[in-house]
Structure 1
């Protein structure tokens, strides 16, 4: 399996959910990062062996705000050369998170297009709650 590094500079690569599932099942992807809020994650998430829930944005009374610790948290679990797939609810937050990761030197990062909604729509397997994953609590 080739590299996820199909981009030039900080241009994010977007995979469809079927391609993402193949990379996860093949063991090529080292870590799957779900950047949704903890509440969204607990309602259901992609079934993957190595999954992290590190929110890219938080709900606040003022609206959604970017997690200022996002890069630090990802870096504490992942190396810059690790193959990573990033996902959110619909693919928007994860696209921004993927671009940030690439700008900070991560080399093999891809956004999962359509996010959890597309994965669930295709019936590709979901998990509920926090079992078999590392979920960072805030």
Structure 2
């Protein structure tokens, strides 16, 4: 019988579609938008319990991981919070969700299709007054 790391057994990326994400958020889950502040300000999921902490920043050389991501999340979320993570298309949020699970967050789900799918499914969005879309 081999010893298994219990942490790796629990490290399973859970992905939910936007309708399931909407239900989870409306029932009290926190929504973590990992897009850049610029993307977030152009429009985001319209929920009360929403926080924007970028996973990547974009600069002329390409994308750069936010080295303070986990620190910034831990300032506003506990490892026992129920969190739905979203981005623009579902890719960055998948990376962010995996990092959160590895860091010991227990109840984290990745929103499949991201904000683009949220908009496509005509779910409620909030746009900044000065956003140009």
TM over 0.5: yes
TM bracket (short chain): 0.7 to 0.9
1:11 aligns with 2:12: yes
- TM-score normalised by the chain length of structure 1: 0.85
Q: Secondary structure at the match of 2:98?
A: helix
2:98 is matched with 99
Q: Deviations over 1:32-87 (max 9, x none)?
A: 10000111101100011111110000011210010000000000000000000000
Q: Give the drift of 1:129.
A: 2.5
TM-score, normalising length: structure 2: 0.88
What is the aligned-residue RMSD (CA, Å)?
1.4
| Alpha carbons 1:35, 1:88 under 8 Å: kept | yes
- Bigger radius of gyration: 2
Aligned to 1:111: 110
* Map of 1:47 onto structure 2: 46
- In the TM superposition, 1:1-138 aligns within 5 A as 8-27=9-28, 29=29, 31-129=30-128
Q: Which runs of at least 4 in structure 1 moved beyond 2 Å after TM superposition? A: 7-11
More helix by share: 2
Aligned residues: 122
Structure 2 gap ranges (5+): 1-7
- Equivalent residue for 1:3? none
Partner residue of 1:4?
none
Show CA shifts across 1:73-131 (max 9, x none): 0000000000000000000000000000000000000000000000000001100129x
Aligned-residue offset at 1:10: 2.2
